[in-house]
Amino acid sequence: MTERTDQLTELARDADWRHLDLRMLLVHPVNELVRFLPLVIGVFFLGRSSEGDPWHYLGVAVPVLLGLWRFASTRFRITGSQIELRRGLLSRSVLTAPLDRVRTVELTASPIHRLLGLAKVEIGTGSGARNGDNRLVLDSLGTAEGRRLRADLLHRAPAVPDAVAGNAARVPDGPAPAETVIMRLDPSWVRFAPLTTSGLVIALAALGGSSQVLGNVIDRAANASSVGGRVRALPLLVTIPAGVVTFLLVISTLAIGGYLLANWGFTLSRDPSGRSFHVRRGLLTTRETSIDVDRLRGLEIHEPLGLRLVGGGRLTAVVSGLGRRAEGSTSLVPPAPRTVVIAVGEHTLGEAGPLSVPLVPHGPAARRRRYLRAVVPSGLVPLVLGVLWLLAGWPLWPALVALVLPVAGTWLAADRYAGLGHALTERYLVVRSGSFQGRRDALQRTGIIGWNIRQTFFQRRAGLVTLCATTAAGKQVYHVLDAPEGMAIALADAAVPGLVDQFLAG
């Protein structure tokens, strides 16, 4: 197309520009008000002293005007092959993304949005993955319009093959046909919440934040009242377990709360044309994520120690073109029973192999390395304490207590070796590793775009390598940890034919 015809079509299409939903006018001022709340309160309270001061009206007007400004200045449109987002009245910025680069579409609705029947639409494209702002955000559209836009974006994307095949698979306009529900959250799964790593981290952070305040309160209560005296009168055998139980209860409650907030009503479904997966979840703020099937490069099963001990796990999708930042938006199954995770995974991949195929273990050298790395550092502690007891007159009990460490280390090493392995199926490379953060990843072999073969000094001496399959999806690199060199190279050669063979020795 020449430049002039470009300009002409530009003019002709100016009518296509769409606004955000008018109701967003109510969302933004409320949001801005909340953000400006300290200022607004300050203005009103301080304003009292000097009557008739116009400042406190400004404090309310500014956020409202900002909302109006954003409504007036934001437009978007979909042309034949791309989506454009225009922002700003005086200084203009136009964000453009080709439709075939759209990987995910996410509809988020905070309680205010839901009240007004609105949703924020975030469009994930891979184009700017390296410079941060790779998401187009429309805040906000009416829920129905948002869903229509999502259907448009995801179904128009691979336009070329579709045109060839005839548009039989196109979704007709009007009410959306029923989706196939693959999985729905069973509320009893909250029992897994306290055992997830993220649940623990959130709970600990919350506790840490409040512990200073709590500490003060407890101190004062203990010193000032008779409660302190009574608690101190109790034997340690009672107070310590009571403290531990309270701690666990608080942590569990926080974790369960977090789980419900994020995952209430979690539904995974496949759209009628089979071209995308939808995930719907959230108690207060609801979130609907859609993942283009063509961009799905594999799955990750996460089995952190706590979940694994009670037979649970969670599942995430490996989606190409989304950076590591967007990992949170690709959850397919929240912490749930392992059987559910496997069933959903098999359904999503369309085959059973990658998630259940027995794995090739990495052999005696890898096992030795697991034990060395776990037992040596943890064994040094009681050793040093023992020496201090002998030479420096320290008490003996710290050394005896520290003997727990190498015992735990031995168990950890055994578990880490048991978790180590890989397999190659017809379409997938499967790798598993870890104990505390146990995981099994299945990566499409066609999604592998390079190999890194790493050897530390000690790995070299043990004849082991860490083979890393690089990819444009998920966490960008998947490790085959501590495999014997020959096994790793043969695996790399077999997984991506015609790449490694030209560099083989002999």
Interface residues toward another protein, by CB under 8 A: 126, 129-130, 320-321, 323-324, 449-457, 460, 468, 470-473, 476-477, 484-487, 489-494, 496, 498-500, 502-506
CA–CA separation, 138 vs 71, rounded Å? 10
Helices 197-224, 236-263: axis angle to 10 degrees equals 140
Q: Which is nearer to another protein, 154 or 496 (CB)?
A: 496
Shortest distance (Å) from residue 473 CB to another protein: 8
CA–CA separation, 103 vs 489, rounded Å? 32
Tokens 């496949």 — which residue?
Answer: 270
Contacting residues for 465 by C-beta, under 8 A, at least 6 apart: 453, 454, 455, 459, 482, 483, 484, 485, 488, 489
Shortest distance (Å) from residue 487 CB to another protein: 6
| Residues linked to residue 428 through DSSP beta bridges, in sequence order | 444
Q: Which is nearer to another protein, 190 or 469 (CB)?
A: 469
CA–CA separation, 134 vs 126, rounded Å? 7
Q: For residue 363, give the nearest of 481, 478, 277, 280 by alpha carbon.
A: 481
Q: Which is nearer to another protein, 170 or 460 (CB)?
A: 460
Q: For residue 97, give the nearest of 116, 117, 76 by alpha carbon.
A: 76
Q: Which is nearer to another protein, 163 or 505 (CB)?
A: 505
Contacting residues for 17 by C-beta, under 8 A, at least 6 apart: 75, 76, 77, 86
Shortest distance (Å) from residue 500 CB to another protein: 6
Q: Which is nearer to another protein, 105 or 492 (CB)?
A: 492
Shortest distance (Å) from residue 324 CB to another protein: 7
Distance of CA 256 to the CA centre of its chain: 18
Shortest distance (Å) from residue 382 CB to another protein: 30
Shortest distance (Å) from residue 498 CB to another protein: 7
Shortest distance (Å) from residue 25 CB to another protein: 39
Q: Which is nearer to another protein, 128 or 142 (CB)?
A: 128
Tokens 């531990």 — which residue?
Answer: 244
Q: Which is nearer to another protein, 79 or 446 (CB)?
A: 446
Largest CA distance in the chain: 91
